Structure 1
Amino acid sequence: MRRVLIPATLAPIGPGHAARGSIETLSGRVMGTTWSVRFVAPPGLDAQVLRSLIQIEFGRLMAQLSHWEPDSALCRFNRVPAGTRQVLPDDLFAVLLQACDVAACSEGAFDPTLGALIDLWGFGPPGPIPTLPEPAAVAAARASGGWERLALDPETRSACQPGGLQLDLSAIAKGYSVDRISDLLAGQGIASHLVEIGGELRGRGVKPDRSSWWVALEAPPEALGSVDEIVVALHDLSAATSGDYHRFLDRGDRRYGHSLDPRTGFPIENGLFSVTVLHASCMLADAAATALMVLGPEPALAAATRHGLAARLVVRQGGALAEQLSPVAARMLS
């Protein structure tokens, strides 16, 4: 069965608001994953020039946000001496500001300073690990983090490196990059487009036939047949999904997902298979999906309700998978 979600508030979609032109597609690879842009090309647009502009923007973003590039602003911050305060470039500071806000709202279920833990569990640049980390090593890596220790200062756009803090923005950087590419397209006069990076999406405007950009919400492969397919109209809306079925560590008869709980230092085991969040900001949707994933089914649904988030949770109940919708998402059902 297929169900439909439609944003509660839609901008006018009349003859004067429909984009004119053909729908074109550009795609490539970035951040270890794929990206694609579908857009209504205005007359005279050179798609290859647009591709170059997109790649330049990706390069600029990765030079600030990547934890895989040793010379990025993020990696340089990770290496500065203890006890120093560093002025950060605009994009890095903006992402950290949002990340710390989500961390505070989720009572620590989200944390942008988990680099040491992520590396320890084999999900960072050093690569996979041969054996599981010892509890003492997990405790030490967890103690080296803590988003509060960044002590962000909006006036100077700076952050503190108290020593040992290792930034990792993999749970928010894709969403932010989606937003920035969407803004780039809008700045080029491309008002109608769908941007996707590694499954995180943002749609703006409408197509020439005045229809929205429709996408199917991602769900775990195990959910096929037991959870309804949901399609959503991304009309000035973003969708981001967090789940442990893409990246994991198999050791013996156990599987450890890549979602780590900052409060324990260990991979989550709370019955949540995936969380999708819909929001105007893909950056916020990306981070919020991760935070809800870590919280677990009941606290996640309570948090989504409290903060007015449109969220879809896929939960294991007994031996089956079931779906839960937050009140805002439920009101979007057509």
Structure 2
Amino acid sequence: MRRVLLPPTISAEPAPAGAGIVDFGGASMGTTWSARVALAPGAMAAGAPLRAASLQAGLQEQLDRVVAQMSHWEPASDLGRFNRAGACTWHALPADFFEVLHYALEVARETGGACDPCAGVLVNLWGFGPTGRHDEAGFVAPAARDVATVRAGMAGRVVALDIPRRRAFQPGGVQLDLSAVAKGFSVDKLAQYLEGQGCRHYLVEVGGELRGAGFKPDGQPWWVALEEPLAPAAAGTGEIAVALHGLAVATSGDYRKYFMQDATRRPHTIDPRSGMPVANALASVTVVHERAMAADAWSTALTVLGPEQGLALAERKRLAARFLRREGNGLREILSSRFQKMLEEE
């Protein structure tokens, strides 16, 4: 059984007559990125190499700017400097950095701290940060007392924002980690750049998170299959293809980045409320949204909240969310009502 997820509204604007697809791509954020753009024949004929080179450079520039501002892997980034700043200091932030931090803090507030950008010290403690990684020789998973000590040190340390002046307050020792939001934001930046260049029909992707608009030259939308922890047949869920027409999709899962400790899976998603990697049997959560940043953030937040609380929040916020919960050797699918409403069987 194949199911398709369709957007609530469909634009009537077709791809340019005689258009062809031009592919772009590169590396960023420790992963790869790609863009497929439907361009009119004139853009692919005389001067096309110059046009293509310009788009390639412009797309890469968008991602380089995100890294320069928000990477916790780059000590020279604006985020790196904020994390090293002294206690009780205010810092003016670049516009994109401020926007992403503001959004991440709002998600933290709405989830009761289940997805908190200020929990970077816990991410590092569990070996998922830039140093002392779990996949390096000599790594030892933290003991309960180590987690308790770190959480006690985080208590009461709040990053406040001065919105009119676009500033953030470093209370001292807070380690920002925007990895649950920044990749999605970078997908949105690629889309915004293409639209600013007059490109209305495209599919952009960074590290598996996607956003699409318009149509392919054959009149079809940009179809993508949802990421699955297991083969659909083994999972017992069936494939879902999404028409990314004015939509973005992001998946958070326990099967990409994790390590085993005493026969227990320790995924890279940390629950800041307990200081522990999530352990709620969720294999993945997929969110479909108009913005990739939102899909990215909410897929992580719902993963931390778990199938019951996560589904309840998805319903309150009318999020299109798909939960896959491990049960025995298979997966149980749980869909939010908005996701179900967009779903059709072929």
TMscore range, shorter length: over 0.9
Give, as a single letter, the amino acid of the residue that structure 2 aligns with 1:229. Answer: E
Match of 2:72 among 67, 73, 76: 67
Match of 2:21 among 23, 29, 35: 23
Tell me how far apart the structure 2 counterparts of residues 22 and 259 of structure 1 sit (CA, whole Å).
40
Counterpart in the other structure of 1:206: 215
Counterpart in the other structure of 1:251: 261
Q: Secondary structure, in 3 states, of the residue corresponding to 2:112?
A: coil
Tell me how far apart the structure 1 counterparts of residues 237 and 261 of structure 2 sit (CA, whole Å).
29
Cα RMSD between the aligned structures? 1.6
- Does 2:21 correspond to 1:11? no
| Deviation >6 Å, runs of 4+ | none
Render the CA deviation track for 1:68-95: whole Å, top value 9, x for unaligned. 1110000000011100111111111000
Counterpart in the other structure of 1:170: 179
Give, as a single letter, the amino acid of the residue that structure 2 aligns with 1:101. Answer: E
TM-score, normalised to structure 1, is: 0.95
Counterpart in the other structure of 1:135: 144
- Counting only pairs closer than 5 Å after superposition, residues 111-122 of structure 1 correspond to structure 2 as 111-122=116-127
Render the CA deviation track for 1:10-57: whole Å, top value 9, x for unaligned. 2225xxx33342111112111011111011123234212211111222
Q: Report the CA distance between 1:141 and its aligned residue.
A: 2.4
Tell me how far apart the structure 2 counterparts of residues 147 and 3 of structure 1 sit (CA, whole Å).
47
Give, as a single letter, the amino acid of the residue that structure 1 aligns with 2:170. Answer: Q
Counterpart in the other structure of 1:196: 205
- CA change 1:142–1:19 in 2 (3 A) is farther
Q: Which has the higher mean CA deviation after the structures are superposed, 102-111 or 139-148?
A: 139-148
Give, as a single letter, the amino acid of the residue that structure 2 aligns with 1:102. Answer: V
Q: Is the 8 A contact 1:111 1:146 kept in 2?
A: no
Tell me how far apart the structure 2 counterparts of residues 48 and 163 of structure 1 sit (CA, whole Å).
44
Render the CA deviation track for 1:292-317: whole Å, top value 9, x for unaligned. 00001111111101100000110123
Match of 1:161 among 161, 170, 174: 170
Tell me how far apart the structure 1 counterparts of residues 195 and 8 of structure 2 sit (CA, whole Å).
23
- Report the number of matched residues: 331
Q: Is the 8 A contact 1:144 1:165 kept in 2?
A: no
Q: Report the CA distance between 1:145 and its aligned residue.
A: 4.0
Q: Is the 8 A contact 2:157 2:171 kept in 1?
A: no
Match of 1:106 among 95, 107, 111: 111
Q: Secondary structure, in 3 states, of the residue corresponding to 1:264?
A: coil
Q: Is the 8 A contact 1:19 1:207 kept in 2?
A: no
Q: Is the 8 A contact 1:19 1:206 kept in 2?
A: no
- CA change 1:262–1:39 in 2 (3 A) is same
Give, as a single letter, the amino acid of the residue that structure 1 aligns with 2:318. Answer: G
Counterpart in the other structure of 2:280: 270
Match of 1:242 among 237, 240, 252: 252
TM-score, normalised to structure 2, is: 0.92
Tell me how far apart the structure 2 counterparts of residues 47 and 147 of structure 1 sit (CA, whole Å).
50
Q: Is the 8 A contact 2:157 2:174 kept in 1?
A: no
Q: Secondary structure, in 3 states, of the residue corresponding to 1:221?
A: coil
Give, as a single letter, the amino acid of the residue that structure 2 aligns with 1:33. Answer: T
Q: Secondary structure, in 3 states, of the residue corresponding to 2:334?
A: strand
Q: Secondary structure, in 3 states, of the residue corresponding to 1:150?
A: coil
- CA change 1:310–1:148 in 2 (3 A) is farther
Q: Report the CA distance between 1:149 and its aligned residue.
A: 0.8
Match of 1:294 among 286, 304, 311: 304
- CA change 1:183–1:146 in 2 (3 A) is farther
Tell me how far apart the structure 2 counterparts of residues 252 and 171 of structure 1 sit (CA, whole Å).
27
Q: Which has the higher mean CA deviation after the structures are superposed, 56-65 or 88-97?
A: 56-65
Unmatched 5+ stretches in structure 2: none
